[in-house]
Structure formats: structure tokens, C-alpha cells
Structure 1
Amino acid sequence: MITVIGDQLYGRMENGESVREVVGNVVLTQGNVRITCSRAIQYLARNNAHLIGNVVITQDSLTILTDEGFYFGNEKRAYSDRGVKLDDKKVILTAGIGEYLFTPQQANFSRDVKLTDTLSVLTSARLTYFREIDKAIAVEQVNIIDTSGNIIKADSLINLRKEQITYAFYNVRVRNLRDNSLIMGEHLEDYREKGYSLVDVNPVFMQVDTVKNESDTIKAGVKDRKETDSLLQIDTLVIRSLVMESYRTDTSNQFIAKDSVRILRGGFASHNDYTIYYKDKETIVTNKVNDSAAVPVIWYDNSQMTGDSITIRLSDRRIDRVFINNNAFMISKSEINPRRYDQLTGKRVIMNFADNQLNKTEVYGNVLGIYFMYEEEEQNGLMKASSREAIIFFEERKVSQVNLYGDPNSEYHPENVVEGNEKSYTLPGFTLYEGRPTMENLFTKKIGKVF
């Protein structure tokens, strides 16, 4: 039963019910629940009280503040729709509407909910907070800003404060303010203490290099395709896969994409089964996952490259060098005749870039090459060549010079023999892959072979 004391007490009957009104320095108690306010109207039979003016509810370390509310003694429940603040020394929770159940220690808040602790600030339309187990369930317009520089948005979210674990569902957006990256998906698991995150439903990673203007800047929570398109139109790294993982430590920050991985950045694209992005080292590594698996494929401008392992080194988020190891194969389509492909194979290929353009390619080990010849853009047969090493120089996206080293050998095939027979001039392992990631097909098409 609620007990009430105050400066003034008035008794009356309302609709056959005994009502007690207490005014001035009002104190209500029930067990270890204590309530103070300016004025209280107590309904004796129902064991309820209407609390008015400077309401303060306490229980041990818990404090609830509101201008006006209700306390239901039989249920040990407090309610207010006049703005509520809850402080339990672990979190501060505010909202337009709040309900607190003392026995299960559960808060149900709605309308402009805000939960603040030492690690983050969470806002949502509705939130349930379980004090005993330090668990919060947020629904609708969920937004978390944490001290590590991350912003998480989602339709709904479960946060286990004690374990520092977060689960987010549907329309999930994770923005990192430090490196201007954005991860989108439909399901997120984040284990803060372990430094591990997982997105395993429709994950997409995006990282902007340069921003053209304010309207192009990544906003926390891309909500529609129009905004996504505006991000893709500037110099942005985009990675799509079936599963994405992130590992964070004091000394490293690595991002892993698994299964049907597609990468796009300007004129550079890739399709592979496994990619590791070392953010701190600005290095992307793609690997053939086993002997029977498909090789990683990368495209740059009019060239296609394959190999068992491909490493991409960035400098200031721009491609600096590409290393292709084991069974390296490079194919470049002619701009003059699309049926003709320059080809180059070797054990290892190193591609060097300057000002975001390929300027030199180095090939090491069992070099084989086929180069179609031109004189003032007139087709002039082809050259087959072999050596231990080779260096190819590029100017204005075209081969300008080829140097062969170590037992060089070459043979010329005239135009009248080559014309119409281009497909017969291919090196062992020649394969053209379709499904190159682009802005248009990044979210739909799969990899396959042309021939």
C-alpha cells in the first residue's frame, strides 16, 4: 500500500471512490520506492496516485524525474507523458513518454528517446531498457554515435551494455568518421571488446577518396538509391560481398569480404572470393581460396588481369602498385580492333601507377607475350615473344615500349595471316571474364566466362 505525507491533506469522494489529495512537500513511499512531488492525488481503492509538479522517483541508485505522472502501487509501475528522465548511474535515459516497472526493473520509453552512457549516445523512436541485465532494445529511427568515431543507424537494434555487444537489423548503416567509410547491410553484429564486427546480409562497403562538394559528402545513413548513386559518381572505393567482417586492434584495422566479392574504384574493378583490406596499411589483398576455386580477376581500363593472389597497394587511397603472384595473366583489348587482345603471362606481375594512371608493368619468370602491331593506327600483324623478364611502358593508356630481358625470343606474324584468325593467337590459359563490376551492375550481375 502507498503511504503519503505532506503539508496539507484533503479527503473527498469521486464517483464513489475515496480520494486523498496531498499538497506541499509531498512524499509517497512503497517499500524501497520513494516519490516526492508538489502535489499528489491518491486513489485509495486502486492504490494509485496522480503525481503533479517536480516529480522525483527514487529506488536505490535509480532516479526518475518528470513534471507530472502516475504511480500504480499494485503494479509497482510509474508512467508519464510529460517528458521523463531516468538516471541509474549507468545510463541516462530521456524521452517524451516513459514507463518504468520496478519489479522487473524495466523501462519502456517512446517519443524522442535518448540513451547516454560513457561509450555512446543512442536515439530512437521507442526503447526498452532492462536495468538488471543492462540490455536495451531500440526500434524505429535508431541512431548510435560512439566514442570511437562510429555512427550506426538501423530500423531496430539490441544493445547488451555489459557484454558490449550490439545487434542491428534492417537498413543498417555504419559510418566511420575517421576514414570516411560507410558499411550498409540488413544485419550487423558488433563485439566492441573483441574489436570484431560482422555484416552477413546484403553488405556493401564504401569509402570516399575526394569530395567534390558538400552535397557529395557521405551522410550517416544513406536512405535511398539517389543518395547512393551520388556517392558512386565520385572517386569512391566500393566493395560488395555476401559476408563482411571487421577486426580492430590498437595496432591494426582490417576489413574482410568473403564470397562473391566485387570491388569497384574508378577505372579499377575486381571479382574474387576473398578480399582483405588493411586500412592502416592501405593494402587490399585478394586470394584464390583453394586449388579448385576460381582465380581473382581484376580489370583496369581496357585490361584484365588474373592470378592466384593479387595485392593492391594504395597511397592516400589512390592505387599505387598492383602485385599479381603465381599464374599471372594480363589481357588488354585493342582500342582499334576489339577482336584483338595483347596478352602477357608470367609468374609475377607488378603494375606501377602515377597520378592514378598505369605507367609501367614489370613481369618476372617464364614471360610469354603476344602483341598486335600498328603503324599509324593501321593493323600490321603481331609479335610473339618470350623471355625471363619484361618491362612494358605506357603513355596515354597505350603501350609505348616493351623491353625483354633474359633469353629474349620473338617472331613476327604478318597482317595477312593474322586478319580474321585473331582467336587462334592466344596464350595457354587465355580466358575473358564477363561481369566486370560497374555502377550499373554492381548489385546484380555475377561473374562468368565469355569464351
Structure 2
Amino acid sequence: MKRLLHFLLFLFFAQVAAAQVLVESTGSGEPVEILAGTQRQRFQRLDDGTELQILAGTVGLRQGRTRFYCDSLVLNSITRVFEAFGNVHIDDDTTQIYSDYLRYHTDRRIAFLTNNVRLTDGRSRVTTNELEYDVATKTATYRNNGRVAVGKSVVTSREGTYYRDLNEIFFKHNVELKDPSTYLKTDSMIYNTETRQTRLITDTYIRDSAGRVIRTSEAVYDMNTRMATFTQRTTIDDKCLRVVGDRIANDEATGILQVEGNAVLIDTCQGVNILANQIFANKRTESYLATKQPLMIIKQDKDSIFVAADTLFSGRLSELARYQPLRNIPDSVNRPSGTDSTAGSDSLAGVAGGTDSLARKNGTTDSTTLAAARPNRDSVTAGARASVRTRTPARTTTASRTEAKATVKAPAKKPVKDSTDRYFEAFRNVRIFSDSLQAVGDSLFYSFRDSVFRLFKDPVVWNKKNQVTGDTIYLFTKNKKADRIRVFNNSFLASEVQRGVYNQVKSSRLDGYFREGTIDSVRCRGFAESMYFMQDDDSAFTGINETTADILDVRFLKGDLHRVIYRSSVKGTVWPIRQRQPSEMRLKGFGWHDARRPKSRYELFQ
């Protein structure tokens, strides 16, 4: 009897010891062990022979390095599946998962969790109602809506997969990201919980707190540095500014935006479009630089202005004056007035008839004019890039030889937010085209405050059959149409009568006026000379008038030179048409530059 009692006690303690050490042995060789502290356990055999091991109280299990905790647990030794109930917790190294219910396949090492599921890795927190977790690959998947919180950012999606080894979460279907500064909606997105980088791989809509909207299909965004790189065709709408490009790099910390590949910048406030293969923009200073075949379009209802050059730069006038307070910055306060009204005799009274003057023009003109903001063309691209990035425009200015230098007061510290507080510059191979007027030059400065195009170094302006040249040309516009033209030093006006025949006027200074986009009248002052082919009512040539004067006025009719009026110190000769060949009748400095003239807007795209 005593031996039988000892044998039964031996069997009882052996079963208890085995239960504490080994609950289930799997094909993978990873046993499932009961942790110390598990309070109650019992065995139950079902009618089909299935053996169940039931644990209750404070339950703890371990398989490899993964620990499981719950209030109660049932293990099926045949199916090698255990079910856990109440306060379920999976501790898998840095991954912590919680739920109300767990079904775990011990051989496949796959967990199915439902009801109040939460997963955290210390950086992000996933909440859903159903989650599948693969212990072997450290992969968690939800397929019926989930929510992921990363700091103040929250991402929701219908499906999501968490890869612990990669520290990535792959969101799919109805993906939405919300944080204090951004709203994002897409169909697929990958987020790295360690680097905090977001990769967008399909059509995506982004809106920030300032109202800026981004549409893209492929991008990488770094939440630490706030830098975004868009590698597919992307559109950014920021108030009245739209940017489009094949590749865009955006740095929120510095406000620098770089656009490459068929880049487009549309400024609806200014009515300006820029096309280029590379555009840099500084959102803080509201400046931008365009290179690689840039083209600017100043939109108008019927006659838009197209400007092409090697480099285009635009910024705020207030910023330009702030960083260059001693420069001669153009300002509408110093805008020159009209021309002098000097009476005189009409030396062509017998030909053109009557006396005339420019008194009908409003105001007078003196020698004080706008100081030209001519840019320094050395190291243009490098200087312009530095300007965009440092907020210090890298432009210098020089006054025209015939202009008095003016000192412009620096504006208030806070820049004026108005549509006229802008300028743009063009460098190298400047070409301008509109249906009514064309121009070329080496560099250009334009101020939206006074609406004046300032052309430097060998500039040429054409209007129909008329060509104007000089050292420096100012083209004044009104309502984006040509209104006045002002030429400084070596001014020359040539008007083509027919092929090889040109009416010519030259002087030190030239002031011209337009009407409905067509040149209407011109005043030349200082060593004025003219070469004028006289015609009868049938347009037959009758003579050639070669005359000099202090002041010379020219009248046009429908864009053709119609009358020349000389004032003060007039000297001249009228040559019979048969005594002179038209090719011989050229004033010094004459040149017909039709080969440089843009023939259509499409030339500027090349």
C-alpha cells in the first residue's frame, strides 16, 4: 500500500512538472512554455479524443523570445492552437500588442487578434478591431480599417501592414493622414517609423494649414527635416501661385522649392506664367529663378507678351531696396513725365504741309529720369541661386549715362503686400514678342510698380515696319500695352518703306508714343538727323530729305512714317530721287537687324 501511494504521488508530480515546462511542442522546434506565476491549470478530454489544456488567473506563456499574457487560455494539443481571453498582451521584443481576444497557431506562429487591438513599437501606435500578426516575420496586418498615430499625426486606412524589421507601415485603400499642419488623402502610402519618412506611390492629394494644395503620384517626405521630393509630375497650388514639374524638391524649413523637367510657374496675381526646365523659388522672399530655356508669358486678353532669355529672376521690389538701399532702384515716384513742347518752324511745310508740335502730349520731360536697375551679368546663374537661397538679391544696378543718379529710401521693415511690389530680370539673349511689338537685348529689368521694360546692351525694339535702337531703351506700358518708348544715347529710328529703302532718324535722345499698340509720334533731341524719302499721292518717290536740327518730331499714320518736323538750328538738303541710290542714303550708325527679330512666339520655345 505504501509503495502504491508513492507511485501515485510520483505520477502526479511528474504530470505537474511536465505541464509547467512544456505545453506544446511544434514542428518548428519552438516549444510553448508556461511562465512562472500562472495560477490555475487543468486538463479536459473531449468525446473525439481532443485534449484541452486550460489555464486561468494570471496566465503567461513563452515561445522563443515572444511572451503571451492573458486572463485565461485554452490550448488544443491536436490543432496546436490556443485561444486567449481578456487583457491579451503579446510582448515581442520592441513590439507590444494588446487586445481582448487572441487565437494563436503555435506551429505557424501566427496570431489573430480581435476587439480593441493596439500595437505599439515605441514610435507609433496602431489601433484596429482585427489584426493578424506573424511572429516569425514580425509582420502585422489589418484588413478592416485601422488607425496609426505617430506623434501628432494620425493615419487611417482600410488596410495596413506593419513590417517591424523594416520599421515600415504600408497603408492601402482610403488612406488619410491628418496632423496640425497637413491633410493627406491617397490610396497607398509607406511610412518608416524610425526615419519618419513617408513614401507616396500613387495619386495623392495634400493640403496644408496655409491652404496650399499638392497633387502628386510619387514622392518622399521627411517629417524630421520637412523636406519633400516629388519624382513624378506634380502640381502645387499656393494661393495665387501654381507650380508644376516632373521633379520637385521642397524644403519647408528654408522655404526653398526646386522644380525640374517641363517646369511651369503660374502667378495668377501678376498674370504671369513661366516655363523652364529648372525653376528655383523662395517662398519666404517670394522670389524665383528660372533657367534652362526659360520663357515668361505676361498674359493679356488679346496680345500677351512673351519674354525669353537664358535666365529669368523675379522678386519683391521692397526686398531689393532693403538689401541694396544705396542703389538706384526704379520707383514710380521718380517716373519721368512727358516731353518738352518746343515750338519751331516746319521745314517740310511745302511737302507735308502746315506747322505742328507735340504740345498735345501731356507734361514735359527734363534730364532727370528713372535710374536704370541694370543687373550685373557676371556669374548670373550663381548669383541668382544665391539670391533665392539667402534672400539677398544678387543684382547690381548702374545708371544710364544720360540719367542723374537718385538715392532711394529703404522701405519699412515689413514688405508691402501689394501686386505692384514685384520686379523681374532677364539675362543674356533677351527676346520679347507680342503681336504688336518685338524686342531683343542682352538684359532686361521690369518693375510692376511703373510697368516699364528696361533693355540694356544692344537693345532693339520693333513695331510693325519700324525699328528702334540705342544704348538703353525704356519701354513704358499701360494696361500691359506699349504706351511710350524712351531711348538713351545713340538712339536710331529706321522705318522700312520698301525692301532696301528706309526712312531714318537719329539723335542723342528719343521719346516715342504709342496709340492702341502702334507707334504714333516720336521726338528726337540732341544732334538730331533724318533721312526721309518723300513720296507723292501715288506713293512714288519724289526726293530725299537729309536734314539736321536740335529737335526733330516725327508723325506716323497707321504705323508708317508720315511727317517729319524740324525745330531749331535746321540745316538740310533735298536730293532729287534720280541723283541718289537708296542704298547710298544711310545715316551713320544705321543697321537693319531683322535677322534678330523674333518672328513668332513659337521661336521663343526653342
Instruction: Calculate the TM-score normalised by the size of structure 2.
Output: 0.65
Query: Secondary structure of 2:586's match?
Result: coil
**Conserved? CA contact 2:203–2:217, under 8 Å:** yes
- In structure 2, what is the Cα distance between the partners aligned to 1:297 and 1:395? 22
Q: Does 1:187 find its partner at 2:278? A: yes
Q: Does 1:110 find its partner at 2:201? A: yes
**Conserved? CA contact 2:463–2:518, under 8 Å:** no
- Give the C-alpha shift of residue 169 in structure 1: 0.5
Q: Which moved more, 1:84-93 or 1:344-353?
A: 84-93
Q: Does 1:128 find its partner at 2:220? A: yes
Q: Does 1:443 find its partner at 2:604? A: yes
Q: Map of 1:97-246 to 2, 5 A cutoff?
A: 97-119=188-210, 120-147=212-239, 149-210=240-301, 234-246=302-314
Q: What is the aligned partner in structure 1 of residue 186 from structure 2?
A: 95
- Give the C-alpha shift of residue 329 in structure 1: 0.6
- In structure 2, what is the Cα distance between the partners aligned to 1:368 and 1:114? 65
Gaps of 5+ in 2: 1-91, 319-414
**Conserved? CA contact 2:231–2:247, under 8 Å:** yes
- In structure 2, what is the Cα distance between the partners aligned to 1:30 and 1:371? 89
The letter of the residue matching 1:307 is G
**Conserved? CA contact 1:384–1:410, under 8 Å:** yes
Query: Secondary structure of 1:443's match?
Result: helix
- In structure 2, what is the Cα distance between the partners aligned to 1:110 and 1:204? 31
Q: What is the aligned partner in structure 2 of residue 406 from structure 1?
A: 568
- In structure 2, what is the Cα distance between the partners aligned to 1:116 and 1:76? 26
Gaps of 5+ in 1: 211-233, 289-294, 446-451
Matched residues, percent identical?
19
- Give the C-alpha shift of residue 61 in structure 1: 2.0
The letter of the residue matching 1:422 is P
- In structure 2, what is the Cα distance between the partners aligned to 1:256 and 1:95? 39
- In structure 2, what is the Cα distance between the partners aligned to 1:362 and 1:144? 48
The letter of the residue matching 1:437 is P
- 1:42 maps to which of 133, 145, 158: 133
- In structure 2, what is the Cα distance between the partners aligned to 1:111 and 1:440? 36
For residues 200-257 of structure 1, what are the alpha-carbon distances to aligned partners after superposition, in whole Å with 9 as ceiling and x for unaligned? 11100112211xxxxxxxxxxxxxxxxxxxxxxx511001111111112544211111
Q: What is the aligned partner in structure 2 of residue 31 from structure 1?
A: 122
Q: What is the aligned partner in structure 2 of residue 307 from structure 1?
A: 470
Q: What is the aligned partner in structure 2 of residue 287 from structure 1?
A: 456
Q: What is the aligned partner in structure 2 of residue 448 from structure 1?
A: none
- In structure 1, what is the Cα distance between the partners aligned to 2:601 and 2:579? 39
Q: What is the aligned partner in structure 2 of residue 321 from structure 1?
A: 484
**Conserved? CA contact 1:42–1:48, under 8 Å:** yes
- In structure 1, what is the Cα distance between the partners aligned to 2:467 and 2:522? 13
**Conserved? CA contact 2:295–2:605, under 8 Å:** no
The letter of the residue matching 1:121 is V
The letter of the residue matching 1:430 is F
- Give the C-alpha shift of residue 88 in structure 1: 4.0
Q: What is the aligned partner in structure 2 of residue 424 from structure 1?
A: 584
For residues 376-421 of structure 1, what are the alpha-carbon distances to aligned partners after superposition, in whole Å with 9 as ceiling and x for unaligned? 2111120011100011112222333221111111211001102xx2
- Larger radius of gyration, structure 1 or 2? 2
Shift in CA distance, 440/281, structure 1 to aligned 2, threshold 3 Å: closer
- In structure 2, what is the Cα distance between the partners aligned to 1:339 and 1:299? 17
- Give the C-alpha shift of residue 173 in structure 1: 0.7
**Conserved? CA contact 1:381–1:417, under 8 Å:** no
Aligned Cα root-mean-square deviation (Å): 1.7
The letter of the residue matching 1:268 is L
For residues 395-449 of structure 1, what are the alpha-carbon distances to aligned partners after superposition, in whole Å with 9 as ceiling and x for unaligned? 222333221111111211001102xx2222111111111221121772389xxxx
Shift in CA distance, 180/369, structure 1 to aligned 2, threshold 3 Å: same
Q: Which moved more, 1:318-327 or 1:192-201?
A: 192-201
The letter of the residue matching 1:128 is V
Instruction: Calculate the TM-score normalised by the size of structure 1.
Output: 0.87
- In structure 2, what is the Cα distance between the partners aligned to 1:47 and 1:372? 93
**Conserved? CA contact 2:495–2:560, under 8 Å:** no
Query: Secondary structure of 1:140's match?
Result: coil
The letter of the residue matching 2:589 is G
- Give the C-alpha shift of residue 55 in structure 1: 0.9
The letter of the residue matching 1:241 is A
**Conserved? CA contact 2:436–2:517, under 8 Å:** no
Q: What is the aligned partner in structure 2 of residue 223 from structure 1?
A: none
**Conserved? CA contact 1:271–1:297, under 8 Å:** yes
The letter of the residue matching 1:353 is F
- In structure 1, what is the Cα distance between the partners aligned to 2:515 and 2:583? 33
Q: What is the aligned partner in structure 2 of residue 362 from structure 1?
A: 523
For residues 245-276 of structure 1, what are the alpha-carbon distances to aligned partners after superposition, in whole Å with 9 as ceiling and x for unaligned? 11125442111110000001113111100011
Q: Which moved more, 1:319-328 or 1:48-57?
A: 48-57
**Conserved? CA contact 2:513–2:519, under 8 Å:** yes
- In structure 2, what is the Cα distance between the partners aligned to 1:179 and 1:356? 21
- In structure 1, what is the Cα distance between the partners aligned to 2:255 and 2:590? 51
- In structure 1, what is the Cα distance between the partners aligned to 2:605 and 2:171? 49
- Give the C-alpha shift of residue 12 in structure 1: 2.3
